[in-house]
Amino acid sequence: MTLLKKARLLYTWAFTGNKTTAAIDITNNCNLKCTHCYWWKEERPPELDDTAMIKFMGSLRARGMTAAIIYGGEPMLRPGMCEAASRIFDHPLIFTNGTQGFSAINAQWILSLDGARVVHDSIRGSGAFEAAVGNLRKAPRKPVVHTTITSQNRYNLEELLDTLSGLPIKGVGFSFYTPSKIRTGEDISIPLEERGLILDELLRLRKKYWRIMGLTRTMADQFSRNSEFSKWNSIEKCPVSKVCNCYNADGTPKPCTYGAGADCSQCGCASIPLYRAAIRHLDPLALFMIYRMVN
Ligand code: SF4
Ligand code: SF4
């Protein structure tokens, strides 16, 4: 039954124009103030209360959205809404900073870690790494780790992989930081022409950390300016936009999970290389990663 549900999800992603996935900011609030994050620096409309949020998620499910990606802020500041999402959707993924723990619900947790202890704490605040990893060790099911590569952590990836290889996780996936066209300030994104060096290094490290490495050559090619990047790096061509609707915490739609100003020409979203490697190139490892990640 589970296998059938997963196969149906992949089929609709690949062969129908149906929007089967909702990306929902389930809360505006976060307990951290990460240096690389725009979230806590911007004003937002008030979030839906619990009753309205449950009704909203139910309406999305009734419209055929069987998969949901739950974001914040920090979703676990609303544990009841995480639990509701896990009941309403067939394939819930919940992104978390890990500091609030992992509850025993029917969802796949995606834990954001930016580096090994020193680098992670320099970005997310003192004690953030220990809190997240302490909770990770007690998690009722193995999380997937997600790391966004920026100028702040690009030289810490091997140390991170070494740390993660001793932890109970399913694997680790990588995004590149996606800058905004409307926000100004320090640019921590990796220039497109430098991505190849980092990807080559990760593929080299894959030989040692193959058990957890969520990157294949086909996926790396999607990020690369000299390969397939230009096939999807616009709002018109973005495969995520084709299968997924994104919503603010008040239920209003937004064009991209990174916000209205996301610069598609420098997109670093990990899900697109994974999707394209699996669906367009039938990369068996990418298919296996999706199989393990979705409920
Ligand atoms: S935990 Fe996530 S939402 Fe909160 S400040 Fe950090 S990056 Fe932003
Ligand atoms: S920035 Fe957003 S809309 Fe643009 S390509 Fe990336 S995921 Fe798609």
pLDDT digits (tens, 9 = 90+) for 278-293: 999 999 999 999 988 8
Share of the chain above pLDDT 90, in %: 79
Q: What is the mean pLDDT of residues 163-181?
A: 95
- 79-119 residue pLDDT tens: 999 999 999 999 999 999 999 999 999 999 999 999 999 99
- Round the average pLDDT of the chain to a whole number and report it: 93
Position 261 confidence tier, pLDDT thresholds 50, 70, 90:
confident
Q: What is the mean pLDDT of residues 39-66?
A: 93
Cα(192) to ligand 1 centroid in Å equals 24
pLDDT at 186: 65
Position 152 confidence tier, pLDDT thresholds 50, 70, 90:
very high
Which ligand is closest to the CA of 44, given by its number?
1
Q: Is the pLDDT of residue 13 over 90?
A: no
Q: Which domain holds residue 39?
A: 2-14+23-293
Q: Is the pLDDT of residue 213 over 90?
A: yes
Among protein residues, the one whose CA lies closest to atom 4 of ligand 2: 264
Cα(51) to ligand 2 centroid in Å equals 31
Residue with the bigger pLDDT between 12 and 234: it is 234
Domain tally, the chain: 1
Q: Are 112 and 148 in contact (CB under 8 A)?
A: yes
pLDDT at 184: 66
pLDDT at 67: 94
Q: Is the pLDDT of residue 46 over 80?
A: yes
Q: What is the mean pLDDT of residues 207-233?
A: 95
> Does any ligand 2 atom lie closer than 6 A to the CB of residue 229?
no
Beta bridge partners of 254: 246
Q: Is the pLDDT of residue 1 over 60?
A: no
Cα(31) to ligand 1 centroid in Å equals 8
pLDDT at 3: 74
Q: Which of 85-89, 110-114, 143-147, 222-226 bottoms out in mean pLDDT, i.e. has the lowest? A: 222-226
The CATH number of whichever domain residue 264 belongs to comes to 3.20.20.70
> Does any ligand 2 atom lie closer than 6 A to the CB of residue 238?
yes
> Does any ligand 1 atom lie closer than 6 A to the CB of residue 28?
no
Put simply, whether the predicted model's pTM sits higher than 0.75 gets the answer yes
Q: Which atom of ligand 2 is nearest to the CA of 267?
A: 6
pLDDT at 185: 64
Among protein residues, the one whose CA lies closest to atom 2 of ligand 2: 256
Q: To test ligand 2's pocket by mutation, which of 231, 269, 271 has the most ligand atoms within 8 angstroms of CB?
A: 269
